[in-house]
Amino acid sequence: DMNDPVKFQYVKDRYDYTSLIDYVIANSFTVCTDWLNYNTGLWRGLNPEGAHQRWGYILWDNDATFDHYINYTGLPSTQADAEPCNPESLTGGSDPQRHIQVLNKLRTNPEVQQYYLSRQADLMYTVFGCENMLNYLDTIEALIDPEMARHAQRWFGTYQEWKNNLEDLREFITQRCELLPELMDDCYQVTGPYQATILVDPPGAGKMQINTLHYEAGQFPVNGHYFGGQQVDLLLHAAAVDTNQYRFDHWSAKNHSFADSSLAAVALDIASADTIVAHFKQLSTPVVELETSAPVCQVNPTVFSNEINVNFFLPEQLPTNLQLYDVVGNLAWQQAISKNSAVIGTNSLKIQLKEQALPPGVYFFTFNAGQFYQTFKLIKI
């Protein structure tokens, strides 16, 4: 019973189910026809101090892919529109070691089922996405091409035959990676996929795990595609990059609500495209220090809805101009302060932009005090 926490933990301590899932997905997405009954490899480390104590899987002899070679495994279909769930029905001589039986038993646990469906979505838009697959194919072609004429002369076939086979492979991959998302619904009754842009505010303050993938501070915004439905949620787990400088504060989204937006780890039943933001607070704010000899400006949040906070410091009375432009240079808001009206020291300004009805997108906030000029990139959601 994989819903018994004790039994499930016993299995997890000895067997890496995430490795099994990656193994099945890799062979399913590439429509491998010679794997479970011939070329399955597992391993674990025997060193008690080592890092690979649990049983995990390896890819071994995976040349029979993309409808190439003989269907030894007995897949229901070897075409580009083969459903990603096809391997789940393999039994008997197609899976003599019962790896699929283990997978299906583990999937009765909601944690495993969530990971299984999320991992498929994550991989079909990254490793097995059209751009990545075709770029990698081009790289391999460029590497092999200089040798293929001599290879054909030495062994058999012709260079042109190789080029023709390569184009067949390219066409199959192109069809396969485009069809996979819509095939998910046939298998699992999921909804979507929905495109979501996920941001960190302020930029560089945090990192995140989104479903099964990890993103560092410099990788945002993330533009991902995610499935929804009864069996799968969008899992988000944010963490500050430097716990001495920032802490997680809350989540916000344009089209979804959170059961508790203050939790760093949340599950979201995604049902439409959205922009999702992880907001962090600075623990120590070195805003404008009075002893500075030059103007200083800070703007937050960098991902805003209808309000922007501006803190700036003037070492002397200077003519000051604050402006907000859209991405094509149209002026959306401005405030000018004459030299005589300028206040020496720290100034705070709360800018309300609801009446401007700004459309979502990228904006640039400029701060100009005397000869000092500074620009901030903001995102309206």
Helix axes 110-124, 159-188, angle to 10 degrees: 140
**Residue 73 and residue 94: Cα distance in Å, rounded?**
5
Which residues pair with residue 320 across a beta bridge? 337, 369
- pLDDT score recorded for residue 214: 92
Pick from 62, 66, 57: nearest CA to 38: 62
Specify the amino acid at residue 54.
Answer: R
Cis upstream peptide for 96 (omega within 30°): no
- pLDDT score recorded for residue 285: 53
Helix axes 17-29, 99-106, angle to 10 degrees: 120
- Strands of 82-205, DSSP E: 191-201
pLDDT digits (tens, 9 = 90+) for 256-270: 999 999 999 999 999
Beta-strand relationship, 303-304 and 372-380 = parallel
Using only the alpha carbons of the chain, give its radius of gyration.
27
**Residue 379 and residue 275: Cα distance in Å, rounded?**
10
- pLDDT score recorded for residue 288: 47
Is 64 in contact with 34 (CB distance < 8 Å)? yes
Is 261 in contact with 252 (CB distance < 8 Å)? yes
- pLDDT score recorded for residue 290: 45
- The structure tokens listed for 276 are 């999702």
**Residue 138 and residue 127: Cα distance in Å, rounded?**
15
For residue 215, the tally of other CB atoms under 10 A from its CB is 18
Pick from 349, 240, 342: nearest CA to 287: 349
- pLDDT score recorded for residue 237: 93
Question: Could you tell me the pTM of the whole model?
Answer: 0.76
Q: What residue ranges of the chain have pLDDT lower than 50?
A: 286-290
